[in-house]
A = this chain, B = another copy of it.
């Protein structure tokens, strides 16, 4: 599928079914809409899945991993090797996302979409005849390249690589939807990746870099200054076209952000809800939204990150975060943690009796 064809395929979530869902909510045995956002969540899932019998039993979190040329500028508190080391930890099941995914009853699929080290020894196998990757924590290797280029001296990647990262994300998410996944979460791993994320936000939304930039994994004041300067330089050197999301991605990076953008486009194409995580996932979402604004109707924001640019991105797309717990880890942890809340909303919609069924007097 080309990117243009993908975008052409996307239709808005179904408002008529959402209205029917609201009518059902009003019959539930409780004061009118007394469970607040839980009702909205369920009604949105109805509108996305085009059914009054929504289901989010089958879940997956896609963790897109990539390396970043910008890391050489000292913008992160961690060395670049950590990207690959964490990919190994994900496959072992020992990281934050693995624990929160197990808790939410969801699989983790890690995609090496462009990290520097070779981790193909860890890649999952497809079960014969099924086309499915097997296991709770699976690595899929689909490298666009071994890390992006340093965007302070030129484009992070070519335009072709940007499109390739988006279609790679689209394809892996699309495969999951075809295999029955009903609720997708997005996550990221990549040392240095808050820098391109803040840069993308600054360009797409036209905000000053300092307003979009936070401490990432925890740089000190000096590192924070370096980070803001590097982002400003990268925008000045590359002059990305804010009206052309693929150009913005290619100039600033990274591969995992493109992959997340593609996965979100796939959710909209396949009519499935997608839960985005923090700053990096939301940068991918911002690109998808810039290509096709109705994708916002398919997104849930798992949480509000500590990263200050994150809330601005969510406001830009008109999405309210479900949780606000002072988190800033990435990996898809905010998406996975919100999944039980989304599932709770759906179960309330499906399982609470109506006033009539319960024989309870109305007010």
Query: A residues within 8 Å of B by Cβ?
Result: 28-32, 34-38, 76-79, 81-82, 85-86, 88-89, 92, 94-96, 98-100, 102-103, 217-218, 306, 322-329, 333, 337, 340-341, 343-344, 347-348, 351-353, 357-363
Contacts and interface: CB of A to CB of B under 8 A. Distances in A.
Given A218-B363, A361-B85, A363-B217, A344 B103 contact: yes
28 contacts: A29-B94, A30-B95, A30-B96, A31-B77, A31-B328, A31-B329, A34-B328, A36-B326, A36-B328, A37-B326, A38-B325, A38-B327, A38-B337, A81-B361, A82-B360, A85-B361, A88-B359, A89-B358, A89-B360, A92-B353, A94-B351, A95-B358, A96-B348, A96-B352, A98-B351, A103-B344, A323-B341, A337-B341
A227 B86 CA distance: 57
Contacts of A348: 96, 99-100
Contacts of A29: 86, 89, 94-96
Q: 4 tightest A-B contacts by CB?
A: A36-B326, A94-B353, A34-B329, A37-B325
Given A217-B363, A322-B325, A337-B344, A92 B35 contact: no
B306 A36 contact: yes
Of the candidates A30, A78, A92, A333, the one having the most CB atoms from chain B within 10 angstroms of its own CB is A30
Contact of A344 (B79, B100, B322, B361): B100
B82 A340 contact: no
A353 B36 contact: no
B361 A94 contact: no
B218 A31 contact: yes
Contact of A358 (B34, B94, B358): B94
A79 to B, nearest CB: 5
Nearest to A76: B363
A360 B100 CA distance: 20
A199 B136 CA distance: 52
A128 to B, nearest CB: 32
B218 A352 contact: no
A103 B343 contact: yes
Given A89-B358, A340-B103, A94 B363 contact: no
Contacts of A351: 94, 98-99, 102
A322 B327 CA distance: 13
Nearest to A357: B94
Contact of A359 (B35, B76, B85, B96): B85
A14 B344 CA distance: 33
A158 B240 CA distance: 74
Given A29-B96, A30-B95, A88-B358, 12 more contacts: A30-B96, A31-B77, A36-B325, A37-B325, A37-B327, A38-B337, A85-B359, A94-B357, A95-B358, A99-B347, A102-B347, A337-B341
B324 A89 contact: no
